[in-house]
Structure 1
Amino acid sequence: MSFKIAIIGAGSVGFTKKLFTDILCVPEFQDVEFALTDISERNLGMIREILERIVKANRLPARVTATTDRRQALDGARYVISCVRVGGLEAYRDDIAIPLKYGIDQCVGDTICAGGILYGQRNIPVILNFCKDIREVAEANAKFLNYANPMAMNTWAAIEYGKVDTVGLCHGVQHGAEQIAEVLGAKSVHELDYVCSGINHQTWFVDLRLNGRKIGKDELIAAFEAHPVYSRQEKLRIDVLKRFGVYSTESNGHLSEYLPWYRKRPDEITRWIDMSDWIHGETGGYLRHSTETRNWFETEFPRFLESAGMPIDPARRSNEHASHILEALETGRVYRGHFNVKNNGVITNLPADAIIESPGFVDRFGINMVSGITLPEACAATCMASINVQRMSVHAAISGDIDLLKLAVLHDPLVGAVATPEEVWQMVDEMVVAQAQWLPQYADAVPAARERLSNARVKTREWSGAARRSVRSIEELRAEKSALKQAG
């Protein structure tokens, strides 16, 4: 088979390489054209060099092109994959630092909460430009696979306003299933069958079967509490499991941001998180991790390039959905996964317009969702709080209505548990002014916001958060990797 796959934000080097090698694990796809595009010519050049090395080492007919001209990359593409981070680490630092001045402590800040909402405001105008190009120059009925966060907001905007066939993809469900299989003593995750449903980053394992045997709440709690690592790293998730009766897909740190109960006071934050890795709740943990990863790649690029000369091993194909979806659509080999799509009645007790994450099957006819799922009431209520924030955030991003944006932030569960309305209004002004270069829809609102800030009445503080760590140097990273290698 020969067709074109465009990857937007291809400078996300590690992730692009993974998607690329996954797709080439499909025997029929070895003659595919990969069109890479990114705003960073430097990153684009590095990833193109790596991918071309992979193609050459494996003697494949696949073609790799790279351009900063997005429309050129999208021209004639059958599939478009987005993994963009609009504003890069510069804007992301503001997503974490400015809310901290108002007492809002985020671990990731890329889905909802103050940081995730502003991230969506930056992304959505760009997503709509992607969609315009897809409609105009891509292959007819091209499919848009969105990996970029905030997943629900980006996918919502692409479907509702971009009018492009879009599916949102994430790996939280797979990672959660791997944990459950491990604590239950399974030899492989393939022994575990499950129905996982909800919204992205708040998806719930509502039915679990291990080798056909149904797993109940009490058995799952006991298994997690007996695990020597997860019992320490996933304290918050285990507490939610005890109270809700079902396990959440999302990591300890990420889940803590979507709920109003665990991160609203500094002394409570340290009680529920674990500092063994950023993902378990560290303040600004993903920002630190992303910064270190970028620095490591730029310094160690020759090693990355050298490793690209190894043969592709189909047995090491990852569980990222993209390659499996393309394989099912093109070959008819059925694939079951969990996908982010418009609800339209799939989950009975969530709104029709919401972007849900739920099971579906893919074949030549497309993505076919399993309908008629009803979430436990507490899970639905938690999802609803986020859906209402997402909806307002999307509408604010489309309209450029700064007052609606402030209402969206005010209704965020964690923000509302920490900040007063007056604090929220000033914080949003500060974030919009700081990020004005990436927020064209708010251009007319920025001067008034800047004027209000010059007469600001709310006192802020310089606070690094309840559990902040500094970005490690390359030398520190090398020493840690060496120690881990020696340990096992």
Structure 2
Amino acid sequence: MSFKIAIIGAGSVGFTKKLFTDILCVPEFRDVEFALTDLSERNLQMIKSILDRVVEFNRLPTKITATTDRRAALEGARYVISCVRVGGLEAYADDIRIPLKYGIDQCVGDTICAGGILYGQRNIPVILDFCKDILEVAEPGAKFLNYANPMAMNTWAAIEDGKVDTVGLCHGVQHGADQIAEVLGAKSRTELDYICSGINHQTWFIDLRLNGRKIGKDELVAAFEAHPVYSQQEKLRIDVLKRFGVYSTESNGHLSEYLPWYRKRPDEITRWIDMSDWIHGETGGYLRYSTETRNWFETEFPQFLESAARPIDPAKRSNEHASHILEALETNRVYRGHFNVKNNGIIANLPQDAIVESPGFVDRFGINMVAGITLPEGCAATCISSINVQRMSVHAAISGDIDLLKLAVLHDPLVGAVSTPEEVWQMVDEMVVAQARWLPQYADAVPAAKERLSKSRVKTREWAGAARRDVRSIEELRAEKTALKQAV
């Protein structure tokens, strides 16, 4: 088979390499063309050299091109994959730093909460530009696979306003299933069957079967509390399981910032999180991890290039959905996964315009979702709170309505638990002014926001958060990796 796959934001080096090798695990895809595009010429050439090494070592006919001209990359593409982070780590730092001045402590800040909403404001105009290019120059009927966060907002905008055939993809369900299989003592995840449904990062395992036997709440709680690692790393997640009756897909740190109960007071934050790794609740944890990862890659690039000269092993194909979806669409080998699409009856007790994450099957006829699922009422209520924020955020990003943006932030569960309306109004002004270069839709609103900030009397504080860690140096990272190798 020969067709073209364009990857936007291909400078996300580790993830791009994973998608690339996953796709080449499909024997029929040896002749596929990959078109890489990114704003950074340097990052593009680095990832291209790595992928070229993979192709050369495995003696494949695969074609790879790299260009900063996005339309050229998209021209004739059958599939377009987005991994973009508009504003990069510079804007992301503001997503964490500015809300902290108003008492809002985020672990990740890329889905909702103050940081995730502003992230969406930066991404959505660019996503709509992608959609315009796809409609104009890609292969007719091209499919857009969005991996970029905020997942629901980006996918919502691409479907509702971009009018492109879009699916949002994440790996939270797979990771949650791995944990459940482990605590229940399964020999492999294939012994575990499940129905997982909700919205991205708030998806719920509403039915679990281990070798056909139904697993109830009490058995699952006992299994997690008995696990020597997860009992400490997932304290908040286990508490939610006890109260809601079902396990959430999302990590301890992520889940904590989508709910109004666990991160609203500094003393409560430290009670519920675990500092063994960033993902368990550390303040700005993902920003630190992303910064260290970028620094490590840039310093250790020769090592990454050398490690690319290895055989592609289908047994090591990851559980990221993209390669499996392409395989099912092109070969008719049916694939079951969990996908982000517009609701339209998939989940009966969530709004029909929402982007939901739920089970579906893929074959030559497309992505076919299972319809008529009903979430437990507590899960639905939590999802609806986020959906209302997402809807306002998408419409604000498209219209450039700063007042609607402020209402979206005000209605965010964690923000509302921490901040007053006056504080929210000033915080949004400050974030829009700080990120104005990535927010063209708010250009007319920036002068008035600056004027309001010059007269504001809302007090802020310089606060690092309840559980902040410094970015580690390359030397510290090397020492840690050496210690881990020696321990093994």
> 1:354 — aligned with what?
354
Partners of 1:429 and 1:389 in 2: CA distance = 18
Distance 1:190 1:458 in 2: 54
Which residue matches 1:81?
81
- Paired letter, 2:95: D
Establish whether residue 186 from structure 1 lines up as the match of residue 176 from structure 2: no
Residues 1:384 and 2:388 aligned together? no
Map of 1:420 onto structure 2: 420
Partner of 2:60: 60
Identity of aligned residues (%): 90
Deviation at 1:403, TM superposition (A): 0.2
Amino acid at match of 2:28: E
After TM superposition, where is structure 1 displaced by more than 2 Å over at least 4 residues in a row?
A: none
Matches within 5 A, 1:319-330: 319-330=319-330
Aligned-partner residue type, residue 383 of structure 1: C
Which residue of structure 2 aligns with residue 404 of structure 1? 404
1:465-484 correspondence runs (5 A): 465-484=465-484
Q: Which residue of 1 aligns with 2:33?
A: 33
Structure 2 counterpart of 1:223, one-letter code: A
Q: Which amino acid aligns with 2:440?
A: P
Q: What is the letter of the counterpart of residue 482 of structure 1? A: T
User: CA offsets per residue over residues 145-165 of structure 1, 9 Å max, x none?
Assistant: 000000000000000000000
CA distance in 2, matches of 1:161, 1:439: 18
Distance 2:174 2:139 in 1: 31
* Pair 1:229-2:242 in alignment: no
**Aligned AA for 2:383?**
C
Instruction: Tell me if 1:150 matches 2:153.
Output: no
Aligned amino acid, residue 459 of structure 2: K
Q: Cα deviations across residues 220-276 of structure 1 (Å, max 9, x unaligned)?
A: 000000000000000000000000000000000000000000000000000000000
SS in structure 2 at match of 1:345: coil
1:359-394 deviations in whole A, cap 9, x for unaligned?
000000000000110000000000000000000000
CA distance in 2, matches of 1:215, 1:377: 20
C-alpha displacement of 1:415? 0.0
Question: Which residue does 1:167 correspond to in 2?
Answer: 167
Q: Which whole-Å CA distance do the structure 2 matches of 1:307 and 1:89 have between them? A: 26
Partners of 1:266 and 1:352 lie apart in 2 by 37
**Per-residue CA shift, 1:166-195, capped at 9, x if unaligned?**
000000000000000000000001100000
Q: Is residue 217 from structure 1 mapped to residue 180 from structure 2 by the alignment? A: no
Query: What is the CA–CA distance in structure 2 between the aligned matches of 1:82 and 1:447, rounded to whole Å?
Result: 32
Q: Secondary structure at the match of 2:102?
A: coil
AA in 2 matched with 1:425: W
SS at structure 1 position matched to 2:34: strand
What is aligned with 1:459? 459
- Distance apart, 1:424 and its partner CA: 0.1
What is the TM-score when the length of structure 2 is the normalising length? Answer: 1.00
| SS of residue paired to 1:5 | strand
Which residue of the partner structure matches residue 448 of structure 1?
A: 448
AA in 1 matched with 2:300: E
The one-letter code sitting in structure 2 at the alignment partner of 1:182 is E
Corresponding letter in the other structure for 2:458:
V
Shift of 1:197: 0.1
| Local SS of the residue matching 2:205 | strand
- The equivalent of 1:344 in structure 2 is 344
Q: Number of aligned residue pairs: give it.
A: 488
Partner AA of 2:388 in structure 1? N
Give the match for residue 316 of structure 2: 316
Q: Give the distance between the partners of 2:350 and 2:459, measured in 1 at CA.
A: 39
1-structure distance, mates of 2:367, 2:486 = 45
Residue 16 of structure 2 aligns with which residue? Answer: 16
How far the C-alpha of 1:308 sits from its partner, in A, is 0.4
State the SS of the aligned residue for 2:444.
Answer: coil
SS at match of 2:339: strand
Partner secondary structure for residue 371 of structure 2: coil
Aligned to 2:258: 258
1:97 is matched with which residue?
97
1:159 maps to a residue whose letter is: I
Counterpart code for 2:467: A
1:133 alignment counterpart: 133
Matching residue of 2:111:
111
Q: Distance in 1 between matches of 2:120 and 2:201?
A: 15
Matched position secondary structure for 2:315: helix
Shift of 1:456: 1.2
Deviation for aligned residue 1:140: 0.2
Residue 394 of structure 2 corresponds to residue 394 of structure 1: yes
What letter is aligned with 1:375? L
1:73-128 CA-to-partner distances (Å, cap 9, x unmatched) read: 00000000000000000000000000000000000000000000000000000000
Tell me, what secondary structure is at the counterpart of 2:208? strand
Residue identity matched to 1:287? L
For 1:119 and 1:269, locate their aligned partners in 2 and report how far apart those are by CA, in whole Å: 23
State the SS of the aligned residue for 2:388: helix
Segments of 5+ residues of structure 1 without an aligned counterpart are none
